[in-house]
Amino acid sequence: MSVSVKTSKASEKMQLARRSFLAYSSGLGLSATVLPGVLWAKMQDDDVTKITKEMLHDAEKTAGLEFTDQERELMVEGLNKRLKNYEKMREVHLDNSVVPAIQFNPVPPGMTFEKKQRAASRTAELTGRPIKASKPGKAKRPSDIEDLSFWTITNLAGLIKSRKVSSLELTNMYLSQLKKYDSKLQCVITLTEELARRQAKRADKEIAAGRYRGPLHGIPWGVKDLLAVKGHKTTWGAMPYKDQVIDMDATVVRRLEEAGAVLVGKLTLGALAWGDVWFAGKTRNPWNTEKGSSGSSAGPAAATSAGLVGFAIGSETHGSIVSPCTVCGVTGLRPTFGRVSRYGAMALSWTMDKIGPICRSVEDCALVFNAIYGPDGKDSTVVDLPFNWDAGRGIKDLKIGYIKSAFEQERDDKESKANDEATLEVLRGLGLDLIPIELPDYPVDAIAFILSVEAAAAFDELTRSGRDDLLVRQIKNAWPNRFREARLVPAVEYIQANRLRTLVIKAMHELMSDIDVYVAPSWVGNNLLLTNLTGHPAVVLPNGFNKKQEPTSITFNGKLYGESEVLAVAKAYQDATGFHLKHPVL
- Active-site residue set: 224, 296, 320
Helix or strand (DSSP H, E) at 282:
strand 281-282
Helix or strand (DSSP H, E) at 557:
strand 551-558
What sign does the CA torsion over 502, 370, 99, 264 have? negative
Angle between the N-to-C axes of helices 153-161 and 362-372, in degrees from 0 to 180, rounded to the nearest 10: 70
Q: Determine contact, residues 485/494, Cβ cutoff 8 Å.
A: no
What CA–CA distance (Å, rounded) separates 474 from 148?
41
**What does the DSSP 8-state code read for residue 152?**
-
Q: Which residue type does 3 have?
A: V
- Rg (the chain; Cα; Å): 25
CA-based nearest residue to 340, from 309, 367, 315: 315
Measure CA 250 to chain center: 15
Q: Which residue type does 236 have?
A: W
CB atoms inside a 10 Å sphere around CB 284: 25
What CA–CA distance (Å, rounded) separates 51 from 506?
41
DSSP sequence for 437-501 = E------GGGGTHHHHHHHHHHTHHHHHHTGGGGSS--STTSHHHHHHHHTTS-HHHHHHHHHHH
Q: Determine contact, residues 280/328, Cβ cutoff 8 Å.
A: no
Beta-carbon-side half-sphere exposure of residue 447 (alpha carbons within 13 Å): 24
Give the burial class of 230: count Cβ atoms within 10 A of its Cβ; 0-12 exposed, 13-18 middle, 19 or more buried. middle
Measure CA 309 to chain center: 19
Q: Determine contact, residues 331/360, Cβ cutoff 8 Å.
A: yes
**Strand duo 517-521 + 400-403: pairing:** parallel
Reduce the DSSP state of residue 214 to 3 states and report it. Answer: coil
CA-based nearest residue to 582, from 284, 291, 314, 360: 360
Which distant-in-sequence residues (6+ apart) come within 8 Å of 77 by Cβ?
none
What CA–CA distance (Å, rounded) separates 507 from 283?
38
Q: Determine contact, residues 425/541, Cβ cutoff 8 Å.
A: no
Q: Determine contact, residues 584/437, Cβ cutoff 8 Å.
A: no
Measure CA 501 to chain center: 20
